[in-house]
Amino acid sequence: MSDDVKALPWRHISQSSNAALRYIDGRRKGEIKSLNTPWKKFNTISMGGIEWQTITTIAGMSGSGKTAILGQLETGLKDLNQDENFAILSFNFEMLSSRLVSRRLGNKLNITTQQLYSSSEGFSLNDNYYMNAVKEAKKLNKYDIYYVDIPGSILSIRDTILKFANEKDKPVVVMLDHTLLVKKTGMAQDRDLLYDLMAMFNGLKKIIKVSFILISQMNRNIESSERVQNPDLHYPKKQDIFGADACYMYSDLVIVTHRPEMLGIRAYGPKRWPTDNAIFWHYLKVREGEPCIALMENDLAHNQILDAKPIYNKEK
C-alpha cells in the first residue's frame, strides 16, 4: 500500500448493532425525534418529519412552490420544535435572503408580497401594517437561522457547513436553493456537478449531526403536449428530475411538488382529480416507506402551501 494512501476505518457488527439499538430505544422513549414540519401529511409519510442524518430533495417546475416550502420550513421547524436546540443554515443562491424574509413578513401579516411592497393596485401599506411588519421582523430576528447569499463551489459549501457546525456546536439543518446554481469548477458538467454535490452531502451526514433539504429542477419533458394531453402520462417520474440518478442514489426522500393547472390540465391523471387551487406532492422515493401522492392546498399568494383533504394513492 502506498505511504500516502490511508486505509478506511472499520468497526465490528456489534458496534453497529449497539448503535441501532440505542437509536431504536431513543425513538420509542421519545428521546430521539424527527423535526416536525408544518404539514401533517409530510410528517405521516416520512419518519415523523425531518430526520437527522438524511437528505430530502424537493423538485418542481418554476412556480410550483419550491421556495415557499423552504420558507415555511425555516420558521416552521423552529416554531414546532422548540425543545430541540439546532441551527438552520440556508444557502439561497436564487433569491436574496432579504426577499425571502419579506415573503415571511407578508405571510405573517396575511397579505401578498405585492401588497407588502405597495405595488398592488388599490392597496398601499399604511403605518399600522408597517409597524406590524417591524414587530414581526423583531420576532424573526430571534430565530437561529443564517443565510448564505453568494453562490459557491462544492468545496466552499462543504467548508462553510463544517465551519458553521463547529462554531455553533449544535445540530444543523442545511437548506440549498437550488442545486444547479452551485458554482462549477473547471470543465464540470451539470450532471457531474450533481453527483459530486450529493456525494459531498452524503459524506457530511456521516460525520456531523445534520439534515439536508435540497431544491432541484425538473426537465422540460413534463411540459410536452403529449404528456399534457394523456392523463396516463401526467404524473412526474424519476427521469423528469434533472440529475435524477444522483438525486435518487443519495436522497432518503424525493418529492416533486407539481401544479398541473400551470400546464392547462383541469383533470389530473387517471383519477381525473380537479386541479383548481391544488398542488400535488408526489413522493417518488421514501426510503422507509412507500411512494404516494398527497393533495395540498395552493396558498402561494401568501407564500405558503397547506395540507388539504388527504388522498394517499399508492403507486407501484
Q: Which of 164, 147, 174, 158 is nearest to 77 (CA)?
A: 174
Which residue type does 57 have? T
**pTM (2 d.p.):** 0.90
Task: List per-residue pLDDT tens for the chain, 316 residues long.
Answer: 456 788 988 999 999 999 999 999 999 998 989 999 999 999 999 989 999 999 999 999 988 889 899 999 999 999 999 999 999 999 998 888 888 889 889 888 888 888 888 887 778 888 998 999 999 999 999 999 999 999 999 999 999 999 999 999 999 999 998 787 888 777 667 778 899 999 999 999 999 999 999 999 888 899 999 999 999 999 999 999 988 888 899 999 999 999 999 999 999 999 999 999 999 999 999 998 899 999 999 999 888 999 997 554 444 3
Q: What's the pLDDT at 188?
A: 67
Instruction: List CB contacts of 230: < 8 A, sequence separation 6 or more.
Output: none
Cell of 11: 468497526
Helix (H, G, I), strand (E, B) or coil at 22: helix
Alpha-carbon span 211 to 57, nearest angstrom: 11
Q: What's the pLDDT at 242?
A: 86
| 8 A C-beta contact, residue 256 and residue 241 | yes
Helix (H, G, I), strand (E, B) or coil at 278: strand
| 8 A C-beta contact, residue 296 and residue 308 | yes
Alpha-carbon span 158 to 166, nearest angstrom: 12
Alpha-carbon span 277 to 133, nearest angstrom: 27
Helix (H, G, I), strand (E, B) or coil at 251: coil
Helix (H, G, I), strand (E, B) or coil at 8: coil
Which residue type does 23 have? Y
Q: What's the pLDDT at 209?
A: 96
Alpha-carbon span 53 to 35, nearest angstrom: 12
Alpha-carbon span 154 to 235, nearest angstrom: 32
| 8 A C-beta contact, residue 204 and residue 161 | yes
Distances (CA, A) of 20 to 5, 27, 177: 31, 11, 33
